[in-house]
Chains A and B, each alone.
Chain A
Amino acid sequence: MDLGTVLAFAGVASAVVFSGFGSAMGVGIAGQVSAGVVAEDPGKVGKTIILTALPGTQGIYGFVIGMLIVLFKLPAFHGAVPLDAGLKFFLAGIPVGLVGLVSGIWQGKVAAAGVGMVGKRPEEASKGIVYAGMVETYAILSFVISFILVNSITP
């Protein structure tokens, strides 16, 4: 396999793996707190689900970028990917991957704090979602940049 194709695959991997890892960590952290709250008060399951699911979006953004490269961009090259294009794919996958990793973990922590708030004051659940949503901003920005970068790469 030529180096350009290897780098393009590495771009896909970095977008999917890092953001997926961040989401898994984030959902895991928030999910544990939610499970604790629901263990004591099963009636709060509905209010904890959104907060628990929020850190999962980073993984979806990374997956979308990966699929975009694999399904729509790489076939356009009809075989080997040139070295410069491969390097561009690699760099284009990094924003959504790395920001997804960090923001997923931190969003999980904010969401966990929000779930704790739901445990005490369920009527304040929307405020917890707003706080966790603020971390989402940066994941969206990195997703947009990765999307633009990938779309700018042509054979």
Chain B
Amino acid sequence: MSERYYGFAVGRIRVLETRLLDRARLEKLAEAADLTEALAQLGETDYGPLISAGLAPTEIAAAELARVRDLVLRLAEGAPEVDFLLWRWDLQNLKLLLRGELDRVGLNRLGRYRPEEIAGWFAKDEPALPALFAEARRIGREILERTGDPQMMDAALDRLYYERGSKFWPGRSGLLAAYWTARIDLLNLKTFVRARKLGLAPERLRQLLLPGGRVAGETFLVHRAEDWDEVAAWWANTPYSAVLAACGHLADLPALERAVDNFLVERIKPAKVIPLGLEPVLGYYLAKEHETRLVNLILAAKAARVPPARLKERLRHVYA
């Protein structure tokens, strides 16, 4: 990845980083009296054109992320690293196509490929997509035919994607490789906690855990039956002990999710000080993914009249 400088892209990203919503702005949004005031505040930021265009509050975050997706694709000039990050959204579309749920949920416009391209490829193999998609389609169909369980199909496709990622990032970017590994481990931790709470069988948990992390999947299975104190003692000796310290108790799922998000944002922040290369572009894209999730959270909370104090508790660290 360091073979190219991406100077123009980095220059634009440096200015765009100053327009990311910072913590103070998000807290002010959370303190807004109602949804109308929150939208008015958001209108003064990069989200302004979307609000002026009259988009529904539920559509604003996705539309902003779609705009950033277009920008990042232009700036990265075909870099496979950006494609790989965006494939996550393409695979979500593929899952919907495999499930045949298009009547209920539309395909997203956030992936590397336009929804029409994915749907055309799914139906007629046109245009040609990377081999990962053909493999994902084959695995998805096989699981659905064998089990009829869409959740198992989702888990298998997630495993495929993250497994590819753990081979893709090393050698391209040390920062992204470390981020990817942390993301796998922390997604596994959340899956592990949910599985314990739901009392899932070990075999089911094994199917849900992602490969490629620093904490082996088998280790989660070993600790599955232990009490929470023993689990905490184990996790405190992993490279992610900060997550435990931040959330207080692993069984507190909302606090754990907040701590995981904060940890991952901090992990990608060094991209802000890398002077040249693709990392600042990737960092900005991931920051925007995170920011749009927070904007969605705030707007949904405002629509549901969640008290500002409770909403502020749910806010995360930001990249800005």
Residues of B within 8 A of A113 (CB): 275-276
Contact B8–A35 (Cβ < 8 Å): yes
Contact A112–B8 (Cβ < 8 Å): no
Residues of B within 8 A of A30 (CB): 7
B210 within 8 A of A: no
Interface stretch of the complex, out of A11-19, A60-68, A115-123: A115-123
A29 within 8 A of B: yes
Contact A34–B11 (Cβ < 8 Å): yes
Residues of B within 8 A of A116 (CB): 10-11, 14, 275
B13 within 8 A of A: yes
Residues of A within 8 A of B18 (CB): 119-120
B22 to chain A minimum Cβ distance, whole angstroms, is: 13
Contact B11–A119 (Cβ < 8 Å): yes
Contact A36–B9 (Cβ < 8 Å): yes
CA gap between A28 and B12 in the complex, in Å: 16
A2 within 8 A of B: no
Contact A32–B12 (Cβ < 8 Å): no
* Tally of contact residues, A, Cβ under 8 A: 23
CA gap between A115 and B11 in the complex, in Å: 7
* Interface 0/1 of B10-52, CB less than 8 Å to A: 1111111110000000000000000000000000000000000
CA gap between A115 and B13 in the complex, in Å: 12
* Interface 0/1 of A37-55, CB less than 8 Å to B: 1111100100000000000
Contact B11–A39 (Cβ < 8 Å): yes
Contact A33–B15 (Cβ < 8 Å): no
CA gap between A120 and B13 in the complex, in Å: 10
Within 8 A of B (CB), among A106-146: 109, 112-113, 115-117, 119-120
Contact A112–B14 (Cβ < 8 Å): no
A70 to chain B minimum Cβ distance, whole angstroms, is: 34
A5 to chain B minimum Cβ distance, whole angstroms, is: 40
Residues of A within 8 A of B5 (CB): 29, 32, 112
A31 within 8 A of B: yes
Contact A37–B276 (Cβ < 8 Å): no
In this complex, the member of A28, A44, A113, A119 whose beta carbon has the largest number of chain B beta carbons within 10 angstroms is A119
Residues of B within 8 A of A119 (CB): 11, 14-15, 17-18
B156 to chain A minimum Cβ distance, whole angstroms, is: 41
**Contacts A36-B7, A120-B18; is A109 near B276 (CB within 8 Å)?**
yes
Within 8 A of A (CB), among B25-83: none
**Contacts A29-B5, A29-B276; is A112 near B10 (CB within 8 Å)?**
yes
CA gap between A38 and B12 in the complex, in Å: 8
Contact B276–A36 (Cβ < 8 Å): no
Which of B's residues lie within 8 Å of A, judged by CB? Answer: 5, 7-18, 275-276
Q: Could you list some 26 contacts between A and B, CB below 8 A?
A: A29-B5, A29-B276, A32-B5, A32-B10, A33-B8, A33-B11, A35-B11, A36-B8, A37-B11, A37-B12, A37-B14, A37-B15, A38-B11, A39-B11, A40-B12, A40-B16, A112-B10, A112-B275, A112-B276, A115-B11, A116-B11, A117-B14, A119-B17, A120-B14, A120-B15, A120-B18
What are the 5 A-B residue pairs with the smallest beta carbon separation, nearest first?
A36-B11, A32-B7, A119-B14, A113-B275, A40-B15
Which of A's residues lie within 8 Å of B, judged by CB? Answer: 28-41, 44, 109, 112-113, 115-117, 119-120
